[in-house]
Structure formats: structure tokens, C-alpha cells
Chains A and B, each alone.
Chain A
Amino acid sequence: MASTIIETAGLTRSYGDICALKPLELSVPEGEWLSVMGHSGSGKSTLLNLVGGLDRPTAGVLKVGGEDLLGRDEDGLARFRREFVGIIFQQHHLVPYLTALENVMLAQYFHSVPDEAEARFALERVGLGHRLKNRPGELSGGEQQRVCIARAIINSPKLLLGDEPTGNLDHKSTTMVLELLRELRAEERFTIIMVTHNQEVAAWGDRTIYLDDGVLVREERKTG
């Protein structure tokens, strides 16, 4: 049985009077692909930000990799994000004046030291071996998102977070990106938590949870 990588108890996040995430109990086994669905303002991104160490909860327990994130100071959280988490956003957030290769190497630089051969290999793995020297503006939306995947996995994260990573892509590119994530997860064995509005995209996960107004209202497990 896989060990638990994320465990929350009474996890809450409030912004003033607004409670974006109401006490949440959630457990994610290592290696799982968890899809998170819900309407706008339901608390999906808030949950993702908390799990990724981008935000701090107002109350509750949040254990990631067996460690309570609340116990970490800002430097500790930065180290956690650097070494434990890879994030793919809907907007690619690539540096426009750097090439695809340099964008991946930038992530290596912030993690430890750049290694061009390894970055090149990561881009080849996502099928962009022929686009190494192209800047983001010269790549299609799907290609940009694949650069983001290479950037997110280059530091061997245990947890890959996706905030609507296919939200801006057409159906073909979406399928390509999701297939790529599935292949990489099989090889690297990281856990995926992906926020999406799209039921089809959510169906790629092992389990889907539904949030509504900050409350976990439903959970579906893939069968077969």
C-alpha cells in the first residue's frame, strides 16, 4: 500500500471575512493523480497554493511528505517548493527573452546548479528536442506548456501541481499534454494534483474531488 504524501486535518484558509477553504480533511497517497474540480471561487486554487507551500493556512494541519508545513519558516517553505514541488500554471509563465532550454536551466539554477545536458534531455523527453533554441513567443500553446512540464519535472519533484494546465489548449494539445504527464508519472512516480474545470481532463486522474464554496462535497474514484 502506498504511503500518504498529503494529509490535511481541519485545513482552513480565510481572507478577512471570506473563508476560501473551510475545514478540509484530505489524504492523498503517494503516486496518485488527484483531480480537483469546482466552480470559480470554490477554493481549488487556494488548496493548490496551500499544498504547494505558496500560501499558509489560517488553521488546521497540513502534512506534506510527512512534515507539517506550518512548522517551516519562509526559507524552509522556499526550500520545500524548490525541492519537493513542480508547478504548471494555465499561463505558462515562461521568461519571454530566454530560449526553451534556458527556461528549463533557470529552474535548475534556482534549485542548485544548471546542467545543460540534463535540461536538453528533459526537453527531448517532452518532444521538444528540435525547439531548444526557440523563445516562448516562437512556440505554440501546446509546446509552451510542454516546456513548462519539462521545467516542472527537471528537479525531480515528488509532487506535481497543475492549475488548469490545459485551460488554454485545444483538444489535440490537451490530449498530448495529459498523455505526456501520464507517461512521466509512470517513469518518475510523482504525485499529481490537478485543478480543472473540464470533466474530461479530470477523468485522466485516479480520483476526483469536488469543492463547493470551500467545502469538499463529493469524491469520485476511477473504476477499472
Chain B
Amino acid sequence: MQLVFKLIPQLIAWTVMVLLLLRGMPGRRGAVLISAVTGFSLGVAGYLLLSRLFPVTLPLGIIRSAVGGSFFLLWSVAVAALYRSTVRDFPLLRVERLVGTIYCAWGAPLLTGMVAGGIGASGLPRLDNSVLQLLAPLLLLLAGALLVLGARSAEQRLTSSLGVTPSAFLAALVALLLFSSSSSILLDLFAPLSMKVMKGTHDFVHQFMESILIPDHVFIRSAIWGYIGFLFGKEVGFWGGMVIWFTPALLIALAIRLEPLPSVAHIRQGAQRRRLLADAIRTKQYRLVIPALALVALAAAAYQSSFPNVEYWDPKPLAVTATPAGEIFIPRKGEVELEDGRLHKYLYKQGGKEVRFFVLLTPAGKLTVDLDACAICKPDGYGQSEGMVLCYYCKTLIPLDTVGKPGGCNPVPVPFTERGDGVHLDALTLVNSWSRTVQSTTSSKGGK
């Protein structure tokens, strides 16, 4: 039942995608329907095959690249659409000219179906029961095919006035794909986009302002950095990401609004002239429905990305103490099994300071001890899910096999000694490492 609920948004998005494809290519419904079902089936089958071939690290980059690439394409289409609305002779882009052709009628539903099917299959759980393991994808395929028929039926009931421009068609299709992909933290593009904006701002402010704008005086520097410190917050990344996320659909809506109305000055009869104008205005208003749909899908994607429906493994830190010699010892077997592949968090208190760190067995079979913080973000800590750990602050996903390596948003590694009975680490080194890290990331200068 939980699976069904998890897949409902995906399946709704798939239905709307098919509906949009049908409306965008009204003369080629047969081709759209056949290729949509074929694409969805190939997507599900392809994902299952790849997950068998690469059980540890799924090659989801293909889907991510496809969706991300289409988003970049959308940007160029949006800019061109806006330019065209003000300059009448500007031609359609090649990708826009494709909309409605036989190539698009076969290709677009096939590719969309493959991506949607792949994303849907990625939401299927790994079940122990082999019958259920086989049944779940079959049910997904059946649902996908039935929804294609449902979309066809719904599309026929829509008013004929609901026209679709090529740019709006692409905007809504890409937005729905982004919404689908945002259901998985491995496929989500909004969180990485926000992170890139945040880190881009961070680097720009540091490198550009520090080297050029900020007077090199110890008192002036700290005062000025105090004021511009807000540029390092994750809010900058979030809102910057939102601007990049929504702008193409907004530009396309604006382009439709700016499209000139047809000239009716030559029509003598007033009522007929006004009727033609009213029809043209109504057509424009209907055309705005599809970019509005794109905006809703993008907003839903951003929401899904910001509040992912994923349960992270995030155990309550166990309190540890140091020996009189200043050594912290964590047994290999005891209250927790250190080598079960899960994140195990600990809390060490010394002189009013609280240090959080974790121990993890990486997929390579090596134990690693790291601070529950990275060198650049505020120390909100990490959670573990789907072969990754996630930085709660900036939503960066870090593959498990890179945990233990320093740099970027990786957890800061802590030196330790591994012996037969467990891991040993120096309390002073741990506290100093935590202090350095936290001090640099929570001050206005160093923290994001």
C-alpha cells in the first residue's frame, strides 16, 4: 500500500505527460499512444536490467543527464520564445519546429516514456519475496499502459480552445519530468542546483570580493564580512535555485502574453472586429494554461526536493568518554555493530564542548571515522539513505565509497587507529578538529 502511495505522484505526472503529448500533436494520436506505452515499458525494463547489472551503484546518471539536458534546452527555447514575441520575424528553433512532426510524435513519447518508466521503476522497493519482486514491475507496467488510455480519454474531453504552443509544450513536458525525477534523492535536480548556486555564491564572494573589493585591514575586513555574511546562507542557494528553476516557464508565459494580437483594423463591422479580437485574446489566455501547468509542476518538484519523502538513517548519537590517557575507544561489537554498513553516531563532551562524529564501514570494507560536519557547511550533520550520505544543510549527496576522503561537502575525516577489538581515536585531536571546523563554518566569514 505504501508503494502505491509513493508511486501515485509519478503516475499522475505520467498521465499528464501523455495528455500533453496528445494535445501537442493532435493529428498523430496513434503514434503518440503506441510510442508512449513502448517507451514506458522500455524504461521500466531498462531500469530493472541496469539495477541487476549494477546492483551497488546504479547508473542513474543517464536519467539525470537526460532530464538536466532537457532543462538547459528549455532555457534556450524560453529565451528564443521571448525574443520572438517582440521580433516577429525570428524563426522557431529547430527543437520547436520538431513539435507536431512525425519524428516528434514517435520520438518524444518514447523518450518521455523511457524516462518516466525508469523513474517509476526506481521507486519500486527491493522485496525479499521473489513473486512480489516480479509482480511489482508488472503492475507498474499495467498501470502505465492503463493511464495512457485514461489520458487519451481525458484529452478528448478537454476544450478545443486549449491550444499548445511549441515552447509551452516543451516547458510543461520538461517540468513534469523534473517533478518525476525530484521524487528520488538520487535523481533530484533542484537540490543540486540550489547547492551549486550556494557554492557558486560562496566562491564568488570569497574569491572576488576578498581579492578585489575588501580593503586589506584587519578591522575593516571583519566588519565588512559581517555585513555580507548573509550571502553565504543556504537561503541564497534556495532562492537563487528557484529563480533559475522557474524562469524558463515564466519567460514562456511572458512571451505568450507579449505576442501581438492580429490586426483587425481592415474589418469594417465593429461587432465582427471585436469578436475576432476577443477570440484572439481568449486563445492567448488558453495558451497560458500550459505554462501555468509547467509552473505548478516545477513548484511541486521544488517542494518534493525540499521535503523529500525519504527516511534517513540517523541514529541518536551515543555518548562516549575518553580514558585518562585521552583515548576514545569504540568497540567493533557491542551496543552497536560497527561493521553493518550503517552510520553510527557518537557524542563526546569535553569542557562544555560537544563533538559529534560517526563511524561507518564503506562499501570497500574499510572503517572510517568522520566528524558529523563538513568543512564548508554549518554543522547540521548527515543522514544515510540509498547508498549515500546526505548533508542536511546543503542537501549534497555523498556516495558511501567517498566517505572518509576529505574535501567539498564530505564529512571531515578524523585520524584513528583500527585494532582487532575496535577503533581508537585521540580525544584532543577530535575536539580540535571539531573546533576548527565548526568555528570556520559558523562564523559569518566561513559559514555558508
Q: Which residue of B lies closest to A121 (CB)?
A: B270
Residues in chain B near residue A156, CB distance under 8 A:
269-272
A11 to chain B, nearest CB (A): 28
Say yes or no for A115: interface residue by CB 8 A criterion: yes
Given A113-B281, A156-B269, decide whether A108 and B275 contact each other with a Cβ distance below 8 A: no
Residues in chain A near residue B274, CB distance under 8 A:
108, 111-113, 115, 118
Bound form: Cα–Cα A222–B266 in Å: 40
B277 to chain A, nearest CB (A): 5
B196 to chain A, nearest CB (A): 46
Bound form: Cα–Cα A83–B275 in Å: 9
Bound form: Cα–Cα A112–B276 in Å: 8
A143 to chain B, nearest CB (A): 22
B381-413 to A contact mask, C-beta < 8 Å, 1/0 = 000000000000000000000000000000000
Say yes or no for B62: interface residue by CB 8 A criterion: no
Say yes or no for A155: interface residue by CB 8 A criterion: yes
Residues in chain B near residue A113, CB distance under 8 A:
274, 277-278, 281
Q: Which residue of A lies closest to B274 (CB)?
A: A112
Bound form: Cα–Cα A108–B278 in Å: 10
A154:B270 contact, CB within 8 angstroms: yes
Interface positions of A from 144 to 195, Cβ below 8 Å from B: 154-156
Q: Which of A111, A113, A154, A156 has the most CB of B within 10 A?
A: A113
Q: Number of residue pairs across A and B with beta carbons under 8 Å? A: 29
Residues in chain B near residue A83, CB distance under 8 A:
271, 275
For chain B, the bracket of interface size reads 10 to 19
For chain A, the bracket of interface size reads 10 to 19
Bound form: Cα–Cα A141–B174 in Å: 62
State the main secondary structure of chain B at its contact with A.
Answer: helix
B278:A118 contact, CB within 8 angstroms: no
A110 to chain B, nearest CB (A): 10
Bound form: Cα–Cα A155–B273 in Å: 10
B277:A111 contact, CB within 8 angstroms: no
Residues in chain A near residue B271, CB distance under 8 A:
83, 111-112, 154-156
Bound form: Cα–Cα A9–B278 in Å: 36
Interface positions of B from 247 to 297, Cβ below 8 Å from A: 269-275, 277-279, 281
Bound form: Cα–Cα A118–B281 in Å: 19
A115:B281 contact, CB within 8 angstroms: no
Interface positions of B from 10 to 65, Cβ below 8 Å from A: none
A111-155 to B contact mask, C-beta < 8 Å, 1/0 = 111010010000000000000000000000000000000000011
Bound form: Cα–Cα A83–B278 in Å: 13
Interface positions of A from 185 to 224, Cβ below 8 Å from B: none
Residues in chain A near residue B272, CB distance under 8 A:
156
B269:A112 contact, CB within 8 angstroms: no
B167 to chain A, nearest CB (A): 26
Bound form: Cα–Cα A216–B88 in Å: 61
Bound form: Cα–Cα A112–B270 in Å: 10
Residues in chain A near residue B277, CB distance under 8 A:
112-113
A1-34 to B contact mask, C-beta < 8 Å, 1/0 = 0000000000000000000000000000000000
Bound form: Cα–Cα A113–B278 in Å: 6
A58 to chain B, nearest CB (A): 32
Residues in chain B near residue A112, CB distance under 8 A:
271, 274-275, 277-279
A118:B275 contact, CB within 8 angstroms: no
B160 to chain A, nearest CB (A): 14
Residues in chain A near residue B278, CB distance under 8 A:
111-113
Bound form: Cα–Cα A204–B272 in Å: 30
Q: Which of B269, B275, B277 has the most CB of A within 10 A?
A: B275
B267 to chain A, nearest CB (A): 11
B270:A115 contact, CB within 8 angstroms: yes
A82 to chain B, nearest CB (A): 10
Residues in chain A near residue B270, CB distance under 8 A:
115, 118, 154, 156
Interface positions of B from 422 to 442, Cβ below 8 Å from A: none
Bound form: Cα–Cα A81–B274 in Å: 16
Residues in chain B near residue A115, CB distance under 8 A:
270, 273-274
Q: Show 7 residue pairs from A and B whose CB-CB distance is below 8 angstroms, ordered by the A residue.
A: A83-B275, A112-B271, A112-B277, A112-B279, A118-B274, A154-B271, A156-B270
Chain B residues with CB under 8 Å of chain A are 269-275, 277-279, 281
List 13 additional A-B contacts (Cβ < 8 Å) besides A115-B270, A154-B271, A155-B271: A83-B275, A111-B271, A111-B274, A112-B271, A112-B274, A112-B275, A113-B274, A113-B281, A115-B274, A118-B270, A118-B274, A156-B270, A156-B272
What 4 pairs between A and B have smallest CB-CB spacing?
A: A112-B278, A112-B274, A156-B271, A118-B270
